[in-house]
Amino acid sequence: MADDVMVIFTAKSVETCLEVGGSQSWVLNRANAKHYKYAILCRNAHTNWGDGKEPHGTAFMIGHISDVVPSTETAGRWLVKFDEYARLDIPDFWQGWRNPVRYTTFEELSFSLNDISFEPMPEVIEEPNKTEFTSMETPDRLTIADAKKALAATFGVKPEAVEIIIHG
């Protein structure tokens, strides 16, 4: 699997990726994604919320994947963390694949790491996961729905996947 690579179609910039430590808010299978060593990021310029400047479909960054963790931005989604990265400028790299996360190989992409010079990722200033609970204080009344939302955010799953059993 040393040749395995994810190609991610994103509207976010290199600077945003450096701030959060990778590329985030992805719906993916964490167990599968953790087996991949690299991710190539390609520009999605057809959004009104992105901050990237490259032309649509351009591969602009490659990262060495260090982990896949719950997103700090969107509950139930994932952050693909990098420990090192390199900037790219490869026009028309994105081939219009059906999903924004593509699992493939360097061979299939005709891509080589030979001329890539990686840099270490900058230190990420950690911010707590954004949930409705902003302090560690327990509210006077905690609903099952609120508890499910908070646990779902903590474990990176949808609230519907959380089951709570109360024995009394």
pLDDT tens by residue, 63-80: 999 999 999 999 899 999
User: Are 42 and 59 within 8 A, CB to CB?
Assistant: yes
Name the percent of the chain lying above pLDDT 70: 89
Q: What pLDDT, on a 0 to 100 scale, did the predictor assign at position 141?
A: 67
Task: Return the amino acid letter for 65.
Answer: I
Residue 134's pLDDT is 44
Q: What are phi and psi of 70, to 5 degrees?
A: -55, 140
Q: pTM of the predicted model, to two decimals?
A: 0.75
